[in-house]
Structure 1
Amino acid sequence: MTTPTVVLVHGAFADAASWSGVIAALQAEGVPVIAPPNELRGLAADAAHVSSVVSQIDGPVVLVGHSYGGALITVAGAAENVVGLVYVAAYVLEKGESLGELQGRFADSPLVTHLKQWTYPTPDGGTAAEVTIAEEAFPEVFAADVPAEVTKVLAVAQRPLTAAAFAEAAAVAAWHTKPAWALVAGADRAINPEVQRFGAERAGATVVEAEGASHAVAVSRPGAVAELILRAVRATS
């Protein structure tokens, strides 16, 4: 019996260090795990990067995505050696659907009015827009259940997401052919919990609710996140 390798894909406004507590919990159970960087430069390009990581892993893989990372594992999960998908406070897209279209079905979260726009240079010599969460709003919007001394650091260490990512459509939805699990953060102010529930239920995912959890649930409740991932690992071993 082969234990799948867990690949943890972070979302926008965070980096792979956000998985630290989850990684420690998985390692304590002897589960192989990797948390690659996410470039946050567009759905197709970012999913291709995740796919390239997965393709270089021998044996089965359980893909885990937080937030925007959920959209990426939906596409990258089509890789042959991916045996399961785990969504953590995440977007679960349908084929041909964009983040904007999925969000548009529901009331806006507080995130929408607290985004700060920046620009970055593109390879063709032009510029493109990217967004972060306004520093003063970050604790409330992203990590309300994380200690203040931690959120102060997280707020200034954000990884920006290209604005164009909100309009890109998913080329495939791997949950049509792969089993899925999902954790809904009940007090999420970045992604409306209803968006999370709708996508997870549409995908036929096994759903658990983390009542009172913020969007940064992997930081505030790493044990709960790790336990759901372990359920997926055991089911696919």
Structure 2
Amino acid sequence: MTTSAPTVVLVHGAFADASSFARVIPELLADGVQVLAPAVPNRSLLGDAAYIASIVRRIPGPVVLVGHSYGGAVITVAGAEDNVQALVYLAGYALEEGESLGELQGRFPDSDLASALVFAPFPVEGSDEPGTDVTVDIDKFPAIFAADVDPGLARTLAVSQRPLAGAAFAEAAPVAAWKTKPSWGLVSSSDHTINPDVERFGYQRAGMTTVEVDSSHLVMLAHPKEVADLIREAVRSISA
């Protein structure tokens, strides 16, 4: 336990940005919880984790690291920072040490996302070879990603996606922070972006405290109170 108030760092996933936490942040701020929701570059698992770790290191007190979707893979690595005292996964990937996103996902049947991905080249500084940006087909995004989110908002999210570089799918996690940090996991049981069994498997393997919510992938926007309650539980666990 600690007497220093923890900071909650919210790590968004692929095809989204920090605004995906827009309905959860007010819940936490109303509790007097310190919150930070940085922009994740979404360029590579190792690079993204290093970036989030650099932000965590600048926070003077304990941190509760929250990751949605691909952000779960990011916090699995960045969560090894000394001041991270709890992890919360939201419809996320809880990788094992030495495991990649592609390997974990490949253990299970594809979700509807697999057939809706769009690939596009992007220039890589210092290289003659382009990278590959991955997004979700705009027309399919609402049903796959945000079925229970306000339709107007879902359409806005569809056209404002933050792409994920394809390279991130193949990079192996060098560490699994959940091995040494208490962790919580939320399964979106109506998820069409990540097969819910991928979420369940990762959480069960890690021995996490797990809850299930009948939600689309964007559970933070569809069910903010349930998400905030799970984060509160993690915050309480490390507060005096």
TM range (shorter): over 0.9
> Where in structure 1 are there 5+ consecutive unaligned residues?
none
Aligned to 1:117: 119
Of residues 89, 92, 95, the one that matches 2:94 is: 92
Cα offsets for 1:142-193 (capped at 9, x unmatched): 0000111111100000000001111000010001100000110000000000
Aligned to 1:199: 202
What secondary structure is seen at the aligned counterpart in 2 of 1:12? coil
- Whether 1:78 aligns to 2:74 is no
- Whether 1:67 aligns to 2:69 is yes
What secondary structure is seen at the aligned counterpart in 1 of 2:174? coil
Aligned to 2:225: 223
Scaled by the length of structure 1, the TM-score of the pair is: 0.99
Scaled by the length of structure 2, the TM-score of the pair is: 0.97
Cα distance in 2 for residues equivalent to 1:120 and 1:224: 38
Superposed CA RMSD: 0.6
Cα distance in 2 for residues equivalent to 1:5 and 1:85: 12
Cα distance in 2 for residues equivalent to 1:2 and 1:30: 13
Aligned to 2:188: 185
What is the deviation of 1:124?
1.5
The count of corresponding residues between Structure 1 and Structure 2 is 236
Q: Which runs of 4+ in 1 moved over 2 A?
A: none
> Where in structure 2 are there 5+ consecutive unaligned residues?
none
Cα distance in 1 for residues equivalent to 2:213 and 2:190: 8
| One-letter amino acid of the structure 1 residue matched with residue 28 of structure 2 | L
Aligned to 2:133: 130
77-86 vs 119-128, greater mean Cα deviation = 119-128
Identity %: 57
Aligned to 1:33: 35
What is the deviation of 1:2?
2.0
What is the deviation of 1:236?
1.1
What secondary structure is seen at the aligned counterpart in 1 of 2:22? helix
Cα distance in 2 for residues equivalent to 1:41 and 1:214: 25
